Amino acid sequence: MPAIIKSFFDPITSTLSHVVYDHAGGQAAVIDPVLDYDAKSGRTSTIAADKILQFLREQELTLAWILETHAHADHLSSAKYLQQNSGGKIAIGAHIGQVQATFKKLFNLEPGFAVDGSQFDVLFEEDEIFHIGQLQAKALFVPGHTPADMAYQIEDAVFIGDTLFMPDTGTARCDFPGGDAQQLYRSIQKILALPPHTRLFLCHDYPPLDRHHESATTVAAQRADNIHIHDGISEEQFVQMRKKRDATLAVPVLILPAVQVNIRAGTFPPAEPNGISYLKIPLNSL
Ligand SMILES: [Fe+2]
């Protein structure tokens, strides 16, 4: 049975969120949903998430899963908000504890902050099988961008998170804590070994000025044209390119707020005695 997919593009963070479902009136998964965040005011809003909720209502879908490919550094997750409004289990890769431990240390989080992934409902192991209604899904372990990245293969579509971007924009950076270009190369090879017509759904698109944003590409297109990792690029060449390029990239605008919320599965830090929840900025540490 082919998966039906509706993609949503957030123009502020260039993030693609996807709703995957078996049929109208059936079951759905939402992948990498965005929570709007205004860094100037520290105010969150749910414009992007509400569009997804509206779509779920229109199609009369039951939200079974909220799937995170990884702890994002470029946007806050609305997983918790979606769950509060529509139910579903929030899932991420089993290695998320490694990311939580790194950032617990950086942010000096409260002693009770667990680094075992227990903020999430389900932690997927490599190649674990699960179902979205009548659709069969498999969790693929694709570390490199972070040590815990997952991709989700759902019938004939793969949601590739931060591994590959569109062929003209290459691959994800590997310079965050625990990132590893060699690992990313190997993870990408796993994706590129899938049948050529396999549809690859992106987590981001950063289109050049002369094209509109896209939500998907194919294995064949990536193998032919990806500027960083087309057929014939060796692991050594890739690692060298990736390291050189990462050294030139700025820190993502929202990394500090995003990570603090995303390692909590989209929940805000515990409120202080005055009832307000705060995010921390570690000075001279990143
Ligand atoms: Fe990312």
pLDDT value, residue 118? 98
pLDDT band at 124 (very low <50, low <70, confident <90, very high): very high
d(CA 19, ligand 1 centre) in Å = 19
What does each C-alpha distance from 170 to 185, 189, 226, 272 come to in angstroms? 12, 14, 6, 42
What does each C-alpha distance from 277 to 46, 101, 260, 273, 280 come to in angstroms? 17, 21, 12, 9, 10
Query: CA 138 to CA 132: how far, in whole Å?
Result: 11
Please compute the mean of the pLDDT values over residues 243-247 and round it to a whole number.
97
pLDDT digits (tens, 9 = 90+) for 22-33: 999 999 999 999
Sign of CA dihedral 95, 29, 166, 249: negative
Query: CA 20 to CA 241: how far, in whole Å?
Result: 34
In the chain, the domains with their CATH numbers are 4-262 (3.60.15.10)
| DSSP codes, 2-16 | PPEEEEEEETTTTEE
Question: What residues pack around ion ligand 1 (CB closer than 5 A)?
Answer: 72, 162
Please compute the mean of the pLDDT values over residues 81-105 and round it to a whole number.
98
Which residue shows structure tokens 């529509």? Answer: 86
- The dihedral over CA atoms of 166, 168, 170, 173, expressed in degrees to the nearest 10, equals -90
d(CA 95, ligand 1 centre) in Å = 15
d(CA 137, ligand 1 centre) in Å = 21
**Strands, sheet with 34-38, edge to edge from the N-terminal-most edge strand:** 43-45, 34-38, 76-77
d(CA 72, ligand 1 centre) in Å = 4
The beta strands (E) that lie in the chain are given as: 4-10, 15-21, 27-31, 34-38, 43-45, 62-67, 76-77, 89-93, 122-124, 129-132, 135-141, 150-154, 157-159, 199-201, 216-218
* Cβ atoms of 203 and 149 closer than 8 Å: no
pLDDT digits (tens, 9 = 90+) for 141-162: 999 999 999 999 999 999 999 9
d(CA 119, ligand 1 centre) in Å = 19
Task: Compute CA 160 distance to the chain's CA centroid, rounded to the nearest angstrom.
Answer: 8
**Alpha-helix runs per DSSP H in 26-67:** 47-58
d(CA 24, ligand 1 centre) in Å = 30
pLDDT > 90: percent of the chain: 99
Q: What is the average pLDDT value for the chain, to the nearest integer?
A: 97
> Is 90 exceeded by the pLDDT of residue 243?
yes
**What is the 3-state secondary structure of 36-96?**
EEECCCCEEECHHHHHHHHHHHHCCCEEEEEECCCCCCCCEECHHHHHHHHCCEEEEECCH
Task: Compute CA 81 distance to the chain's CA centroid, rounded to the nearest angstrom.
Answer: 16
d(CA 121, ligand 1 centre) in Å = 21
> Is 90 exceeded by the pLDDT of residue 1?
no
pTM for this entry? 0.97
d(CA 71, ligand 1 centre) in Å = 7
d(CA 63, ligand 1 centre) in Å = 24
> Is 90 exceeded by the pLDDT of residue 228?
yes
Please compute the mean of the pLDDT values over residues 73-96 and round it to a whole number.
98
d(CA 149, ligand 1 centre) in Å = 9
Which residue shows structure tokens 């997952």? Answer: 150
pLDDT value, residue 286? 86
d(CA 84, ligand 1 centre) in Å = 24
3-state secondary structure of 72: coil
